[in-house]
Structure 1
Amino acid sequence: MTGRSKFEVLKTHSARLWWSLENNSPFISKPSSGMFTEVRLTPPGDARPLVGYYYKFVWEIIEGYFYPSKPPLPKRKTILLNKVPYPDYAEEVILDGQVVGHIFYDLKQRRFRFKPLYFLVEESVKNRHGYYAVVDLPRLSRGFTIKEDSILSSNLPASNRDEYIMLGTANGRYYGIGVRVRSNRIYTLKSWLAKPSSWLDKDPSMLEVVKFNEAALREKEEEAIRFIRSLKEKYNLPVFVSLSGGKDSLVTLHLAIKALGQENVTAIFNNTGLEFEETVAFARKVAEHYGVDFIEADAGDNFWRGLEIMGPPARDYRWCCKVTKFSVLARTLKSAFPGGAISLVGQRKYESSARAMSPRIWRNEWLPSIIAASPIQDWTALDIWLYIFLEKLPVNKLYYVGFDRLGCWLCPATELGEIEIAKKAKPELYRKWENY
């Protein structure tokens, strides 16, 4: 990206999130009254709720770090996750309006780990939970190595166990996180000044969180409906929704039907031949549920035939998109909409730097007669999820086992941590690839 790094772009377009200290609830818009705080998330701040089996999975990672003690933090009904830059898959864990740590996939150890942060570290050190060290130093600084004779009390991981150590100065002014190095020394990775904080009193359900945010969600809904109607009025072309089987295109379809009526909307699903069977079934079920015309652009075995000629795809060698998506969709759309059409897509600017810089309306470079537009360009993942709960929309069940995005199960852009999550849910698919 010319002149600006991807992170700089995402920082400029980062979402904002507020938290009510009275209700212990996230707010997607700034509350007009009451006590609240703005949560400082790592850009782009595209937080989402922790749901289903994945809730249990994440909590087990946290428990594994503190074992045999119990984690010194409340197990709330409403916990959020936010993806953060790491060598591989990683997410911030947000609870009671605070980032309490990161879960991440360790490429070296090939396992998911937990890195405690901020108030959770302070609570753990004060109450002697987990791996900790209280040090006889006036302050902590990033990059400083703490010698063994400066450690007043501690519970350090075994020398063969690579875990983070929570740090605190004896004067209670500084806290940090570090790792064990030679001769029982601790290398400080991060440090900060102690801040007044506490766990909150209430524990609202996700449905209560939806009620707190209903007015803001209705405003977003109304704006999206106006946008869709204005597109139809301006271009006077048939409208279709690019249905992927995921949450964003689901909400886009729902909004399109509210704006134009089911008889004026077509759903098009690109079956790449590498979709999870749950996704294919869900896309068909959604179209039937809404009673809209449904077109399936089916790539068949294009990928597997191409594999024999071109070999495995890679992040910088993604020939697979051309043979399973672009060419298949181009043929289908030219046949279905020879005079052009409006394509409503579930694209959001918080998903990537490229999408953050994308206009809300654009011409499809492969099909100039197709006008693409995103009614939910300014929605966050939390907006999407709360709206799904508000409208009681059906959801692809793969989200509940830890999937954040749905698409080709063999996508070369997938991180190893995401593959590990997928392998737990669909081991037979990955055995097929590993045996290739």
Structure 2
Amino acid sequence: MKLAYQQAAAEDYEAINQKLEKKDSLEVLKWAYQAYGDDIVYACSFGAEGMVLIDMIYKVKKEAAIVFLDTDFHFKETYELIDQVKQRYPSLRIELTKPGLTPAEQAEAHGSELWKVNPDLCCKIRKLIPLEQELNKYTAWMSGLRREQSSTRANTQFVNQDQRFQSIKICPLIHWTEEEIWMYINLHQLPYNSLHDRNYPSIGCEYCTKPVQKGEDPRSGRWANTNKTECGLHQQG
């Protein structure tokens, strides 16, 4: 995987994105699986975007690999949704990957509420390190990032040089709006996390996710009352 990443220069990514520029998401997915086959994994958080992408992936590759970072701190509604997805798309290879430390071990080493005193370290232990270990098994990975979600995601391309994980990151939904995401979910009657109906537009771990009031930034409920806006999965460097 490292070799494939190192051999691809910035010009290569620009050329690929120019080729895909006028393609729709399904065509980008077809290109991705033709290019990487079983050597690509979708890192899914099972948010609204995730449900759209899973449904589209299933149309292209019914035995696609999907990994969920099971921090042990997710809402029960998230785990219930994963069970629904497994029933609806039985051939998908969905893996729930765990951190190296159990919640009890983390509490013993770092205190009982690490997410409060050092949320970056908590994310590193429970998300970043597990994902890095998973991505070492693949050449490329997929994400449901959309450009309109935040200023930090506004320049995301279909195919991205991922310096953080020394990998290739593919984002088929970059042009989708939130309205289009929900139109697709409703049109295809897809299951989704019931917390979305209770003012949770962006859902992460239970301890670090709060409901959002009308008119507030959709991601303001993540790590509320801190300066933190991302877990670090999509930050470069």
For 1:321, the equivalent position in structure 2 comes to 123
Task: Report the residue type matching 2:28 in the other structure.
Answer: F
Provide, for residues 41-92 of structure 1, a one-character-per-residue CA deviation record: whole Å limited to 9, x for no partner: xxxxxxxxxxxxxxxxxxxxxxxxxxxxxxxxxxxxxxxxxxxxxxxxxxxx
For 2:51, the equivalent position in structure 1 comes to 250
Task: Report the residue type matching 2:150 in the other structure.
Answer: S
For residues 343 and 240 of structure 1, the distance between their equivalents in structure 2, rounded to whole angstroms, comes to: 5
Alpha-carbon deviation of 1:319? 0.6
Secondary structure at the residue paired with 1:268? strand
**Residues 246 and 383 from structure 1, CA distance in 2 versus in 1: closer, same or farther, beyond 3 angstroms?**
same
Secondary structure at the residue paired with 1:249? helix
For 2:193, the equivalent position in structure 1 comes to 396
Secondary structure at the residue paired with 1:350? helix
Alpha-carbon deviation of 1:417? 5.5
Task: Report the residue type matching 1:343 in the other structure.
Answer: W
For 1:343, the equivalent position in structure 2 comes to 141
For residues 210 and 77 of structure 2, the distance between their equivalents in structure 1, rounded to whole angstroms, comes to: 21
What TM-score comes out, normalization by structure 2 length?
0.69
For 1:363, the equivalent position in structure 2 comes to 161
Alignment equivalent of 2:32, drawn from 225, 231, 237 = 231
Alpha-carbon deviation of 1:233? 2.9
Secondary structure at the residue paired with 2:49? helix
**Residues 28-47 of structure 1 aligned to structure 2 (within 5 Å):** none
Alpha-carbon deviation of 1:353? 0.9
Alpha-carbon deviation of 1:392? 1.1
Task: Report the residue type matching 1:371 in the other structure.
Answer: I
Contact 1:241 1:252 in 2 (8 A): no
Alpha-carbon deviation of 1:303? 4.7
Contact 1:303 1:323 in 2 (8 A): no
2:204 counterpart of 1:407: yes
Task: Report the residue type matching 1:320 in the other structure.
Answer: C
Secondary structure at the residue paired with 2:97? strand
For residues 314 and 358 of structure 1, the distance between their equivalents in structure 2, rounded to whole angstroms, comes to: 30
Provide, for residues 357-376 of structure 1, a one-character-per-residue CA deviation record: whole Å limited to 9, x for no partner: 333322343532x4211111
For residues 118 and 31 of structure 2, the distance between their equivalents in structure 1, rounded to whole angstroms, comes to: 38
Provide, for residues 366-416 of structure 1, a one-character-per-residue CA deviation record: whole Å limited to 9, x for no partner: 532x421111111111110011011111111111222111111122xx568
Alignment equivalent of 1:332, drawn from 109, 123, 134 = 134
**Residues 265-284 of structure 1 aligned to structure 2 (within 5 Å):** 265-284=64-83
For residues 119 and 54 of structure 2, the distance between their equivalents in structure 1, rounded to whole angstroms, comes to: 32
5+ long unaligned stretches in structure 2:
1-22, 214-237
For residues 37 and 126 of structure 2, the distance between their equivalents in structure 1, rounded to whole angstroms, comes to: 30
Provide, for residues 179-208 of structure 1, a one-character-per-residue CA deviation record: whole Å limited to 9, x for no partner: xxxxxxxxxxxxxxxxxxxxxxxxxxxxxx
State, as a whole percentage, how many aligned pairs show the same letter: 24
Contact 2:142 2:169 in 1 (8 A): yes
Task: Report the residue type matching 1:262 in the other structure.
Answer: K
5+ long unaligned stretches in structure 1:
1-221, 419-436
Task: Report the residue type matching 1:357 in the other structure.
Answer: N
**Residues 371 and 315 from structure 1, CA distance in 2 versus in 1: closer, same or farther, beyond 3 angstroms?**
farther
For 2:235, the equivalent position in structure 1 comes to none
For residues 150 and 107 of structure 2, the distance between their equivalents in structure 1, rounded to whole angstroms, comes to: 28
For 2:226, the equivalent position in structure 1 comes to none
Q: How many residues align?
A: 188
Task: Report the residue type matching 2:94 in the other structure.
Answer: F
For residues 315 and 356 of structure 1, the distance between their equivalents in structure 2, rounded to whole angstroms, comes to: 30
For 1:122, the equivalent position in structure 2 comes to none
Secondary structure at the residue paired with 1:346? coil
Alpha-carbon deviation of 1:346? 1.1
Secondary structure at the residue paired with 1:357? coil
Alpha-carbon deviation of 1:314? 5.0
